[in-house]
Amino acid sequence: MGSSITKQQVQHVAKLANLQLSEEELELYTKQIKDIVGYVEQLDKVKVDGVKPTYQTLDGMVNVWREDEVGMSLSQNEALSQAKRIVDGYFVAAPALRLPLPLIKSGRRGVASAEFGRTSEFFQSKNSGLSENKYNAILTEVDEKGAVGHKDLFLTKGVRSSAGSNVLREYLPQYSSTVVELLEKAGFKTKYKLNCDAWAHGSSGENSDFGSTKNPWNEEFTPGGSSSGSAAAVAAGLVDVATGTDTGGSIRLPASFCNLVGLKSTYGALSRYGIVAMASSLDSPGVIGKSVREVKKVFKVMAGKDERDATSLDSVKRPGLVLTRPGIIRIGIPKEYFDKGIDLEVRQAVMTAVKILEKNGFKIQEISLPNSKYGIAVYYLVQTTEVSSNLGRYDGIRYGFGRESFGAEAKRRIMLGTFASSAGYSAKFFEKAAKVRTLIIQDFEKAFNSSADGVDVILGPVSSTPPFKLGEKANDPLTMYLSDILTVSVNLAGLPALALPCGFSKHNLPIGMQLIGPRWSENLLFDVGEVYQSLTKWHTKKPQV
């Protein structure tokens, strides 16, 4: 199928997704989508007869009904405040029948009402003079005395929240995300809104519509993505901690590439309310900091059920992990994570960490996650299908600019997801991917079983390579996607994972490892991580900035 993708098919998919392509774009996307579809066709050889598809990793969830009652909502002025055009209190859309339009009153762009605070122009002008933004990590300065930075996917009331995209380059939200509210209530003032790959689409920070973020350890290299600004800001000492989102590795990869600790939480542990959605069954908010202790502290502030997020669960009431072998924590080493393709320096750094833990009382044993090799293929069918749905809301009418403002990566993922879920192809691609996702989950369940051969924690590299140079993979989407080959399976299974520094390459670039646990095992990961950091000093090393 990959070899038979035609320009006509891509043009048709673009039309379904309401995207306008130039002839040059059509040629480029046809080749790229053909390559990607050819790669995901490896799922054809996976036997899934009798396997139930997995669309959501929430445990114990049932439909919840509520009374249809009038409650607090945005005022009409608030609801209309970001519209491109309004007339007589209504949004203005393009006419369906091409009748003459009435006189249009243009809504002012980039200006907030008094109750929303400062304008986007204020932040742009203030931000433009920041000498400390040499890494292009900061998009907006909020409070010069603040202590925390937020990935620009997190909405902040009255403060520009762009998701790294030109579509939302002047968007001023009327409310803040739950995570932002919880942190501010606990005394963590917001200092910066931080750069990221647009819509969180990327592994290198190069897909931001506002320029690439640079790695403070070496400005010629990527800090990882998509939470690129979050990692760069913490590594450079601009903030103590920063929020991020991890949909396929977007917290762990930047943490690894910047010598930091990064938590990808259990899916459902942290509220997604007020965070710009990318792939709804995969998105997991989290935090990046310098040490496990810092990350643990911030996570406890952020965690909890949120009635405004149907996928949010009360982690406090979850049973957590009960060790069946008191006194011994068994760490599994997946043989597939150390197969060919793993850089020698990465292998050596991670295995040195394994030996340190083994020497200090942890039981080490080899395990197998045989279906992890299909993780990227599954991920880029599930994720892009959900992307095409979530980004369908951006029409330039109620807020933001039109779909012509989408960047290249967003267009590519929208079209790929539209294709994978379209009539005639959904069974071959999306439905098949959902079934292989089940097999990946079953691999983890088998590894974490309570029998004698089960393990409590899984340990492996975050990335198969140290940080790579900016521009090195930018023109080859499939190669870039493969950067997440060791991280995406965790998201497909909804598990928590903790990235930790464990060494440096010969070019003085950070190398990280990840601890993976069963659902709701964050505290166990913190415990193991703190033990490791008490035995090593990698996390204390800082770049010369």
**pTM for the model:** 0.92
Q: Please state, for a pLDDT cut of 90, what percent of the chain lies above it.
A: 81
The CATH T-level fold of domain 2-59+77-539 is Amidase signature (AS) enzymes (3.90.1300)
Please, how many CA atoms are within 13 Å of residue 202, restricted to the half-sphere of its CB? 37
Q: Where are the domains of the chain?
A: 2-59+77-539
Active site residue 151: yes
In sequence order, the 6+-apart residues with CB closer than 8 A to the CB of 69 are none
In 321-411 the beta strands, taken as DSSP E runs, fall at: 330-334, 363-367
Among the listed residues 81, 162, 165, 250, the single catalytic one is 250
Q: pLDDT band at residue 129, thresholds of 50, 70 and 90?
A: very low
The 3-state DSSP class for residue 348 equals helix
pLDDT in tens, 16-43: 999 999 999 999 999 999 999 999 999 9
Predicted pLDDT at 100:
54
Predicted pLDDT at 84:
86
pLDDT in tens, 144-170: 888 999 999 999 999 999 999 999 999
Predicted pLDDT at 73:
86
Predicted pLDDT at 264:
98
Write the DSSP symbol of residue 427: I
Quote the tokens at residue 432: 């098949």
* Interval 378-400 mean pLDDT: 96
Among the listed residues 34, 84, 151, 296, the single catalytic one is 151
Q: What backbone phi and psi angles, to 5 degrees, belong to 185?
A: -65, -30
Rounded Cα gap, residues 259 and 215, in angstroms: 10
Active site residue 290: no
* Interval 114-119 mean pLDDT: 33
Task: Quickly list DSSP for 335-374.
Answer: GGGGSTTS-HHHHHHHHHHHHHHHHTT-EEEEE--GGGGG
Predicted pLDDT at 64:
72
Active site residue 355: no
pLDDT in tens, 322-345: 554 456 899 999 999 998 889 999
Among the listed residues 161, 203, 226, 315, the single catalytic one is 226
Predicted pLDDT at 120:
40
In sequence order, the 6+-apart residues with CB closer than 8 A to the CB of 361 are 328
* Interval 410-416 mean pLDDT: 97
Least reliable range by pLDDT among 25-39, 66-80, 244-258: 66-80
Predicted pLDDT at 65:
78
**Cβ(170)–Cβ(109) below 8 Å:** yes
Amino acid at the residue 9: Q
Q: pLDDT band at residue 104, thresholds of 50, 70 and 90?
A: very low
Least reliable range by pLDDT among 58-72, 249-263, 291-305, 477-491: 58-72
Rounded Cα gap, residues 420 and 414, in angstroms: 10
The sheet carrying 85-87 orders its strands as: 90-91, 85-87, 105-106
